[in-house]
Structure 1
Amino acid sequence: MARLSLSKTALHKESAQLKRYRQYLPSLDLKRRQLLAERYRAAASLAETERMMRQCREFVLRELPMLAETQVGLQGLVTVSSIKVSEENIVGIHVPVLEHIDIHVQPYSTYAKPHWVDAAVIQLKRMMELKVKYQVGRRRLDTLDTAVKKVTQRVNLFDKVLIPKAEQNIKRIRISLSDTERAGVVRAKITKQKRQH
């Protein structure tokens, strides 16, 4: 680390830095608060999706115990045909957003399959939608968590390190300049007294 110069130029430089730090800190803190609010919404949305997935599982366990029957083939009956995920910019952070999901239901004969297959297909379709929504929501939350962590580190760097360090440097420079000025005045008085004697 460079040694602190105790001059008026250094004082001006440190004062300018401190001013920049103090101007930048509020906007950085605002960004942190906006990201925290968005992170809270993403976490609430993810929790709601988890709740809906639990509800779907409970419904299947309660209403469709016949799914345990292995003779009825349901494989490939319901598939995800396309997913469209875009990005949303939240204060400079790009987070995924689920725009659209297409789920394809393979046509089947209602005469060849038991009557409860219709209800099973509806639940399979719902569960697939929820799983995709959950995966995108999880990625969104992870991205926001990382962003909040980085911005919080920057806020702490400015608030707890850079600003106090600049204030301390300004104080040291001012004390040094004051001492130098005082010493100059004392020398001038001593020189004046010596000339008078």
Structure 2
Amino acid sequence: MARLQLNKSSLARESDQLKTYERFLPSLDLKRQQLMAARAEAQTEVGVLEAEVAELAQRVGRQVPMLANTDVDLDDLVRLTDAQLVTESVVGVKLPKLDRVLVEVYGYSTLAKPHWVDVVAELLHRMLEARLRVQVARRRVEILDKAVATITQRVNLFDKVLIPTARANIKKIRIYLSDEEMQAVVRSKLSKRKRAAAK
């Protein structure tokens, strides 16, 4: 760290830095609050989507107990064929957003399969989509967690390090300059007395 120079130009520089820090701190803190609100909203969305997945799983168990019958082959009945993510900017943070989900129900003979396979196919379709939405929502929360941690570090840097250091430096420089000024006045008076005594 550079040694603090105790002069007027250093005082002006430190004062300018302090003004800059104090001007940016509120906007950083506002961004932190907005990110925390976005994170809370994303966490709520994860909870809602997880509850939806759990509800679908229970519905499958309640509505289609015939799934226990292993004689009916349901392998590869439903398959995720395409999922498209887009990037969404929330308070300057790029987050993934599920734009499109294509789930394909593979053709099966309605004569060869029992009638309840239609219900299973529809429920599995919804389950696949819901699980994918949960994964994307969790990823959004992870990204927002990192963004909140980063902005909190910046706010703390400004609030707890840069601003107090600049204030302490300004105080130190002002005290030094005040002492120098007082010493100059004292030296001036002493030299006047010496000149007066010499005459």
TM bucket (normalised to shorter chain) is over 0.9
Q: Distance in 2 between matches of 1:42 and 1:11?
A: 46
Matches within 5 A, 1:35-54: 35-54=35-54
Q: Which residue of 2 aligns with 1:23?
A: 23
Q: Aligned to 1:143, what secondary structure does the other structure show?
A: helix
Q: CA separation in 2, counterparts of 1:106 and 1:185?
A: 96
Q: What is residue 64 of structure 2 aligned with on the other side?
A: 64
Q: CA deviation at 1:128?
A: 0.2
Query: Shift of residue 65 of structure 1?
Result: 2.1
Asked if 1:168 is matched to 2:165, the reply is: no
What is the alpha-carbon distance in structure 2 between the residues aligned to residue 18 and residue 187 of structure 1? 34
1:122, distance to aligned residue in structure 2 (A): 1.4
CA-CA distance at 1:91 after TM superposition: 2.4
Which letter does structure 1 place at the counterpart of 2:179?
D
Matches within 5 A, 1:96-175: 96-175=96-175
CA displacement at 1:62 relative to structure 2: 2.1
Code of the aligned partner of 1:138: R
- Give the residue type in structure 2 aligned to 1:40: A
Task: Give, in angstroms, the shift of residue 54 of structure 1.
Answer: 0.7
**Partner of 2:84: helix, strand, or coil?**
strand
Q: Greater shift after overlay, 85-94 or 148-157?
A: 85-94
- What whole-Å deviation, never above 9, does each CA across 1:97-116 have from its counterpart, x for those lacking one? 11110111112122211122
Partner SS state of residue 79, structure 1: strand
How far does residue 172 in structure 1 lie from its aligned partner after superposition? 0.4
| SS of equivalent residue, structure 2 residue 112 | coil
Whole-angstrom CA distance in 2 between matches of 1:164 and 1:9: 19
The separation in 2 between residues aligned to 1:186 and 1:90, in whole angstroms, is: 62
Inter-partner Cα distance in structure 2 for 1:46 and 1:111: 40
**Normalised by the size of structure 2, how large is the TM-score?**
0.96
Structure 2 stretches lacking a partner, 5+ long: none
Matched length: 197
The percent identity for this pair of structures is: 50
Which deviates more from structure 2 when the two are superposed, residues 109-118 or residues 96-105? 109-118
- Length-normalised TM-score, structure 1: 0.97
1:68: Cα distance to partner?
2.0
Q: CA RMSD in A?
A: 1.0
Instruction: Give the C-alpha shift of residue 140 in structure 1.
Output: 0.9
Q: In the aligned structure 2, how far is the partner of 1:60 from the partner of 1:171?
A: 71
Aligned equivalents of 2:25, 2:107: Cα separation in 1: 59
| Runs of 4+ that moved beyond 2 A | none
1:134 deviation in Å? Answer: 0.8
The residue matched to 1:36 in structure 2 has which SS?
Answer: helix
Partner secondary structure for residue 70 of structure 1: coil
Q: Give the letter aligned to residue 191 of structure 2.
A: T
1:191 counterpart = 2:195: no
Structure-2 separation of matches of 1:39 and 1:130: 20
**Mapping for residues 80-95 of structure 1, pairs under 5 Å:** 80-95=80-95
Partner Cα separation in structure 1 for residue 11 and residue 141 of structure 2: 44
Quote the residue 2:55 is aligned against.
55
How far off its partner does 1:92 sit? 2.0
